[in-house]
Amino acid sequence: MNPMKLIQFSDLHLSASNDPEYCLDVLTQIVTKATDHSCHAIILCGDVFDTYADMLSLRSKFITILTSFGGKVYFLPGNHESLRRNTKERSFPTFDWGNQITFLDQGPYQILPLNEEVELLSIPHQESYGELLMALPPKKMAKVRIALAHATVVGMSFTGLKDEEEEEKGGLIDVTQLQSLDCDYVAVGHIHSARSQKFGKMEVAYAGSARVWRSGETGPRKGILLDISNSQIHKTEVILEKAGIYAEVVISLGLDGMPEKSAEDYLSVFSNQDWIRIKWQGVVESMKGKMEFQAALKANWQSKFRRLEFDTDESEIIIAENLLENAFIQNFVKVMDAKKDGMEISEWSRAKELGLKLLLEVQN
């Protein structure tokens, strides 16, 4: 039997109000990646839309973009598809998703045979997954059972952001529950940083968010290619270049409030899909130079990125007026300035800053 290829994505958070063109560009690249890898199906593990209203606004464009893919699409709703939906608004099955998209909203689970090699078991997002233990599915008919879920898996190691952990408390599912479903692999959405973990013969894997949805989501955005043959699952990361990255750029300021490096030195390595956050540090006599540099960044660079923002926490900047009137500090600055050409600029700038901070502590 020929290998079956599936490609896993989640948490795209398509939004009509938050960078819609960017979101749809990422969706288009998902289709391109699936086509380039000759995938039989795309599996979407929830939070494809940011809210119920976004689903109403972008559903037609979503369906149209997916039609360029020659295979099937399996769409498991997450918690965001129902976000801010009132009870009088239409339920998911009443929408026409076409013949290509299979909308997997039946609980507590649904089984879909793909061929003799692979079957899918879908688990839509729920506040409680207790029903799974009350109505276990039949033994798998195919050689490999792949589950789709949208949840926080209890018993799995998490090392993500504090904000992420606080937001994603809903929909807790235990590893033992998943093991009772006789799964070989569980494709999960909900947590935005990619990670995977094995529990016996079962692997649980988050692809992470398919785009940068909020600040702090560092690293490349990606999906997971599943190449299934001879009852084995071979897993490969697929990077979504059009999703860009989130990056924090720390700029060290000199005594005049200006950085030692140019704007190009800090920002030229990033692309127009990237979300850049500028953070400041240093010892300055005045904030005037910093304010002028920030204004120049806004004027000349803001349009070159998806987002360019400035951290309002400036606690790492120490303002010390008339600092150079101190003889010890004058001598230190002269010594450091003499070493400037012999050191890498960022190391020199950081060493000078730390030295000034130590002298200020001694002086105080």
* Least confident stretch, 152-166, 200-214, 268-282, 342-356: 152-166
Q: Which residue has the higher pLDDT, 216 or 155?
A: 216
Give 161's pLDDT tier (boundaries 50, 70, 90). Answer: very low
Q: Which residue has the higher pLDDT, 334 or 40?
A: 40
Give 157's pLDDT tier (boundaries 50, 70, 90). Answer: low
- Exposed, middle or buried by CB within 10 Å (0-12, 13-18, 19+), for 247? middle
- The whole-number pLDDT of residue 41 equals 98
Between vectors from CA 15 to CA 10 and to CA 17, what angle results, nearest 5°?
Answer: 160
Average pLDDT over residues 131-138: 83
Examine the pLDDT at 233 and tell me if it is beyond 80. yes
Inter-residue contact 156 to 179 (CB < 8 Å): no
With tokens 């005045």, the residue in question is: 286
Average pLDDT over residues 338-343: 82
Average pLDDT over residues 280-295: 93
- The whole-number pLDDT of residue 24 equals 98
Q: Which residue has the higher pLDDT, 83 or 46?
A: 46
- The whole-number pLDDT of residue 166 equals 45
- The whole-number pLDDT of residue 333 equals 77
Taking only the tens place, the pLDDT of each residue in 209-230 is: 999 999 999 999 999 999 999 9
Region of 257 (left: φ > 0; alpha: ψ -120 to 50; beta: rest) is left
Task: Enumerate helices (H) and strands (E) in the chain, giving the number of each.
Answer: 9, 18
Question: What SS3 state is found at 187?
Answer: strand
Average pLDDT over residues 76-85: 90
* Least confident stretch, 9-13, 129-133, 147-151, 230-234: 129-133
* Least confident stretch, 93-97, 159-163, 204-208: 159-163
Give 170's pLDDT tier (boundaries 50, 70, 90). Answer: low
* Least confident stretch, 165-169, 184-188, 270-274: 165-169
Output DSSP code: residue 180.
T
Inter-residue contact 8 to 41 (CB < 8 Å): no
Q: Which residue has the higher pLDDT, 214 or 328?
A: 214
- The whole-number pLDDT of residue 163 equals 45
Average pLDDT over residues 290-313: 96
* Least confident stretch, 31-40, 82-91, 137-146: 82-91
Residue type, 76: L
Examine the pLDDT at 254 and tell me if it is beyond 50. yes
What domains can you pick out in the chain, each with its CATH number? 4-243 (3.60.21.10), 246-363 (no CATH)
Task: Please provide the average confidence, as pLDDT, over all residues in the chain.
Answer: 90
Average pLDDT over residues 134-147: 92
